[in-house]
Amino acid sequence: MIEKLMNIDRRIVFILVALAVIIPSLLEVSFPITVSQPTRSTYDYIEALPPGSTVMIGFNYGPSSLAELHPMAKAVIYHCFQKQIRVIGMTLLAEAATLGDNMLKDVAAEAGAVYGQDYAYLGFRPGATQVLLGMGTAIDSVFEADYAGTSLTEIPLMADVTNYEQVDLVLDLASGSSTEWWITYTNTRYNQQIAAGVTGVIVSQMYPYLQTKQLIGLMPGLLGAAEYEKLIDRPAKGTEGMSIQSFAHLLVVGLVILGNITFFIQRRQGE
């Protein structure tokens, strides 16, 4: 028995994981969310911006990380529109170009924001370093036109945003190293304020930057989305997902504990 539990077929674990996600998806359960400080800092920063300020959002995640970062993007963009803060979207990843476009359009439709006045989407340009540095001198030196091909001079919002000087916050939504690029090239060189929303796996690697204040805020994956949704009081995919997360986490914790109990029993029997 113990022997069997020790070397359980991994496929049984797989089935348990699948069930832990599928069953709560079918039933609707929800748990209260505690907001962590780094997420709150991001929220507070945006909350304190006067109407008419500008936030630049980098959609630097591919389709594979959409699950974690989309809900977060939605919550933050909604918050900005609600506060009449203008949003400029862009990306450093080719495969993210359409994602960012669709996201901004969706939220704008919900919040009643107008393209060109409340938000603009610049799309993708290759060569991350040059894009980030180039925007420090003039945004239109890198993006001569927006994603749809409209010249930046014809977009009212861009008339008084020439470079980072007029951008009050950069929010990087990242699944890779892009936050480090922003830090190296825009915080270090241009003193740009940066906040980040990143996938669960790279959260811990961002803490050093948070401590050195190179990041003013940090949102961890789906949890960050749920926290932000709570702050703006608009529960959505993040909150829903976190409840399912609870079951999956309980399962993994349970499995580890079970593994250790059997391990100790076996070791005692061995003695």
Partner 1 sequence: MKGQRFSCPVLVVQGLVISLLVLGCGLNAFAQEATTTEDTRLFDTAKIWIFLAVILYSATVVYCIYHARSGKELFIRRIPGLEAVDEAIGRATEMGRSIMYILGLGGVSNVATIASMNILSQVAQKTADYETPLRVPCNDPIVMNVVQEMVKTAYLNEGRPDAYNEENIFFLTESQFAYAAGVDGMMVREKPAAVFLQGTFFAESLILAETGNSIGAIQIAGTDKEHQLPFFIAACDYTLIGEELYAASAYLSREPMLLGSLKGQDYGKVMIFGPIVIGVILELFGITWMTTFFQRVR
Partner 2 sequence: MELIGIWVAALLTLCIYSFLYRDNPFYRFAEHLFVGLSVGYGIVLTFHQGFIPFAWNPLQEAVTKQEWVGLVRLIPIGIGGLFFARLVPSQGWLIRYPIAILIGVGSGLAIPNVMRADIFEQVHGTLAPFAQIHAGELGPFQIFGVVLMLIGVISTLTYFFFSVEHRGVVGGVSKIGIVFLMIGFGSAFGNTVMGRVSLLIQRVDFLLHDWLHLI
Partner 3 sequence: MRRQVPLILCFAFGIVMALTEFSPHPFSQWLNEEIIDWTLVIGPFALVLAVATLVQSHWTRIRRRSEYWQYSFLVFIGMAAMVLIGIPLGQRHEAFVWLFRYAQVPMDATMFSLLAFFIASAAYRAFRARTLEATLLLAAALIVMIGNAPVGDLIWNTIIPFEDNLPSTARQWILDNPNLSARRGIILGISLGVISQSIRIILGIERSYLGGVEGD
Considering the complex, state which of residue 130 and residue 205 has its C-beta at the smaller distance from partner 1: 205
Q: Which is nearer to partner 1, 187 or 239 (CB)?
A: 187
- Is the CB of 129 or the CB of 204 nearer to partner 1? 204
| Strand duo 217-220 + 194-198: pairing | parallel
Residues 192 to 231 in contact with partner 2, rule: CB under 8 A: 199-201, 203-204, 208, 211-212, 214, 220-223
CA-CA distances (angstroms) from residue 6 to 1, 185, 251? 9, 50, 17
Residue 8 contact, options partner 1, partner 2, partner 3, none, Cβ 5-8 Å cut-off depending on partner type:
partner 3
- Paired residues of 86 in beta bridges: 54
Cβ-based nearer residue to partner 2, 58 or 241:
241
Cβ atoms of 240 and 31 closer than 8 Å: no
**Per-position x/- string for 10-29, each x denoting binding to partner 2 as judged by CB under 8 A, each - no binding:** -x--x--x---xx--xx---
> Residue type at 92?
L
**Binding piece for partner 2, criterion CB under 8 A, among 44-52, 77-85, 98-106, 247-255:** 247-255
CA–CA gap between residue 159 and residue 45 (Å, rounded): 24
Residue 142 to residue 107: CA distance in whole angstroms:
26
Residue 249 exposure: Cα atoms within 13 Å on the Cβ side: 7
Sheet with 169-174, edge to edge strand ranges? 119-124, 86-91, 54-60, 169-174, 194-198, 217-220
Q: Using CB under 8 A as the criterion, what x/- string covers residues 59-98 for binding partner 2?
A: -----xxxxx-------------------------x----
Q: Quick one: 119 or 185, whose CB is closer to partner 2?
A: 185
Q: Which residues of the shown chain bind partner 1 in the complex (CB under 8 A)?
A: 10, 64, 176, 188, 201-202, 204-205
d(CA 54, CA 142): 18
Three-state DSSP state, 174 = strand
| Residue 31 binding: pick among partner 3, partner 2, partner 1, none (C-beta 5-8 Å cut-off by kind) | partner 3
The strand pairing partners of 151, in sequence order, are 145
Which positions touch partner 2 (CB under 8 A)? 11, 14, 17, 21-22, 25-26, 64-68, 94, 126, 180, 183-184, 188, 199-201, 203-204, 208, 211-212, 214, 220-223, 241, 244-245, 248-249, 252
